[in-house]
Structure 1
């Protein structure tokens, strides 16, 4: 289950602006009858606010002049959604749904219903690689918290039958959620931060913000163009999964895009010399075991990045890459335990591996 909403995985992804010169355009000597949209006025030093929410550090930066109040609107939205999705907290709608498992359907707010519906849709799309009903297993292990432990096989076997997204029943008309079996529990940690990131972007756009950085504990969204270059992209660093936050192995250009990373070294449990990741396999009840060390997803919606990063870990390098290529709307960077980097086809011309990173680019055979 979620505690402080953040029971997921995310690495910090460094965001830096790309410094490029602005080329001036000469007039053509003819009157332009097409209305010209006035370019927004940007500030050199952005309006910025950092708060500790959802168990992580949240930082928002807005570059549009006179739009400082948009920060307050965005944080207000985050706090409302965090309260509704956090477990073991008064006002949690997820708690309410889980408490009535096997008993009755629970009506939830439109935003939470939309989040749960999306989570079920992705569970189906990924054929269970991502499963919103993973709650009974994540609460058993509780990796990332002080009481984390390796459960017995008997405990895992007892909980696995409760993990089945098909037993989550939704009623669009009534906006209700029903869990068929007693003991079931949904865990929105797999998409919650991505969903909220997208909601923040909507708030900023509503407030007429054109240029901003949204960082929800590693879920990065870059809005608009880099403020230091006319019509130029931001440069986003891809985190080295084995080093401290802010250490990049490579970079990608991006605008109006999100970058979401999952990995096995940020939160884990070590038992008898074996490292267990917090990324759980819904089929086995154990953390995923494969050669992947980290996966970064680049797409337009942060909620998609969350779900895809989990699903690709389940499928492994070859299966995960095939899954990404099939989507048609996402790109991915896979980092393996032998320090090789594999990139999806859409990044072949844009991803840059940093010199002396200690990693090497590789091709799938």
Structure 2
């Protein structure tokens, strides 16, 4: 399961704002069209163990950057595991003892994670904490645990044992030793919250990048109603190296892959993407999955769930999810695209990858 420093796993997507160098300034007597600028107001900060970049293209909206980063920091402090004062840590500390009241935003995040755990039948499991903390891939103390250690903790991974109380806004983990790890969904949730902040501050055109969770707000400034162009990360190369592109406006693109964070033991590479059923990293033919949808929190959860199901099962799952599409990249360098993206996805000729179709 994904893990930022709360567990971060999504690969950074290359984004190409082909329209980031235009300007519109039309207005009428009754309605003013937002004015965009050639060079966006931009800030980049290292938060939650990843690089966060926000670009705002609306003239006079520079202050929205600070407010957006304030929201990122606030939520990161509340949901990060092993962070002093974290609400998620407080919930985990009281596992098997008592319910813990959390803030409305954290409760919404946990409730959403529980719902997706249900919907995916545990392919995404918010209670994966005992396993991710055991391996701790991506951290200096990462190691391959023994089978005995994994077997002892696996029974604690069960989203059904997470009890929520809407009236009291409390979270209760039924068994001692249970632990939430929201790294597989937190970045998406925070991305969506940043978009809300931008909209409340009158921003109509922006790019939000939370370590690979990309959200493009509005249309590209180059011309009226033009889409942005978002690159799909090559999972075997450095961040920002794309194998192809998709057009998007008011949408998010979220990528999960096995090469971003890993552990090598006796020549075998283990990814940070954990299977809640086996307690080991996934071992299938998938190398990367990119989800295109309207809400980044959906993209996060779906990218994890599809990894669990593999190529064929993941594609079937996505085709039944009418609000999202996906691009699957396999270890033999083939690219499979869901039906909703077949006309829009453009594979670079020199990418070294080939388009393929499931039989």
Output the TM-score relative to the length of structure 1. 0.94
2:287 to 285, 293, 309: 293
1:273-288 equivalence runs, <5 A? 273-288=267-282
Deviations 1:197-225 (A, max 9, x none): 00000000000100000001111000000
Q: Deviations over 1:111-148 (max 9, x none)?
A: 00000000000000000000000000000000001110
Q: For the Cα contact (< 8 Å) 1:134–1:282, is it kept in 2? A: yes
1:6–1:56 contact (8 Å) kept in structure 2: no
C-alpha distance in 2 between matches for 1:15 and 1:313: 23
Q: CA deviation at 1:38?
A: 2.7
Contact 2:10 2:257 in 1 (8 A): yes
Report the equivalent of 1:228: 222
Shift of 1:97: 0.2
Q: Which residue of 2 aligns with 1:9?
A: 9
Q: Following the alignment from structure 1 to structure 2, what is the Cα–Cα distance between the partners of residues 82 and 5?
A: 9
Structure 2 residue aligned with 1:258: 252
Cα distance, 1:343 vs structure 2: 0.2
Q: Distance in 1 between matches of 2:320 and 2:187?
A: 24
Q: Taking structure 1 as reference, are residues 183 and 171 closer, same or farther at Cα in structure 2, changes over 3 Å only?
A: same
Q: Distance in 2 between matches of 1:210 and 1:47?
A: 13
Taking the aligned partners of 1:208 and 1:114, their CA distance within structure 2 comes to: 24
- CA drift of 1:89 comes to 2.2
User: Which residue pairs with 1:270 in the alignment?
Assistant: 264
Q: Distance in 1 between matches of 2:86 and 2:99?
A: 15
Residues of 2 paired with 1:304 and 1:47: CA distance?
A: 28
Q: Which residue, out of 346, 350, 354, partners 1:352? A: 346
Separation in structure 1 between the aligned mates of residue 3 and residue 347 of structure 2, nearest angstrom: 36
- For 2:131 and 2:166, locate their aligned partners in 1 and report how far apart those are by CA, in whole Å: 28
- Matched positions, count: 355
Q: CA RMSD in A?
A: 1.8
In the other structure, the counterpart of 1:89 is 83
| Counterparts in 2 of 1:311 and 1:38: CA distance versus 1, 3 Å | same
The aligned runs of 1:45-194 (5 Å cut-off) are 45-194=39-188
Distance apart, 1:39 and its partner CA: 1.6
Whether contact under 8 Å (1:18, 1:232) holds in the other structure is no
Give the Å deviation of 1:101. 0.2
Please tell me whether Structure 1 or Structure 2 has the larger radius of gyration of its CA atoms: 1
Q: 1:4 to 1:134 in 2, by over 3 A?
A: closer
Say if 2:230 and 2:247, in contact at 8 Å, map to a contact too.
Answer: yes
Q: Specify the alignment match of 2:332 in structure 1.
A: 338
CA positional deviation for 1:163: 0.2
Determine the C-alpha separation between the residues in 2 that align with 1:104 and 1:19.
Answer: 52
- Asked if 1:319 is matched to 2:319, the reply is no
Cα distance in 2 for residues equivalent to 1:104 and 1:209: 42
Displacement after TM superposition at 1:15 (Å) = 1.1
- Asked whether the 8 Å contact 1:20–1:229 carries over to 2, the reply is no
Indicate if the aligned counterparts of 2:38 and 2:57 stay in contact, CA closer than 8 A: yes
Shift of 1:90: 2.2
Instruction: Determine if contact 1:101/1:178 at 8 Å carries over to the other structure.
Output: yes
Deviates more, 1:7-16 or 1:316-325: 7-16
Aligned partner of 2:213 in structure 1 is 219
- Structure 1 position 255, deviation (Å): 0.3
Q: Are the equivalent residues in 1 in contact too, given 2:51–2:211 (CA < 8 A)?
A: yes
Q: Separation in 2 of the partners of 1:246 and 1:122?
A: 29
Q: Partners of 1:264 and 1:3 in 2: how far apart?
A: 12
Query: Secondary structure of the residue that 2:277 maps to in structure 1?
Result: coil
Task: Give 5+ residue unaligned stretches, structure 2.
Answer: none
- Normalised to the residue count of structure 2, the TM-score between the two structures is 0.96
CA distance in 1, matches of 2:7, 2:164: 24
**2:142 aligned counterpart, secondary structure:** coil
- Residue 241 of structure 2 is aligned to residue 237 of structure 1: no
Separation in 1, partners of 2:326, 2:223? 26
Cα distance change of structure 1 residues 178 and 240 upon mapping to structure 2, 3 Å threshold:
same
- CA drift at 1:2: 9.5
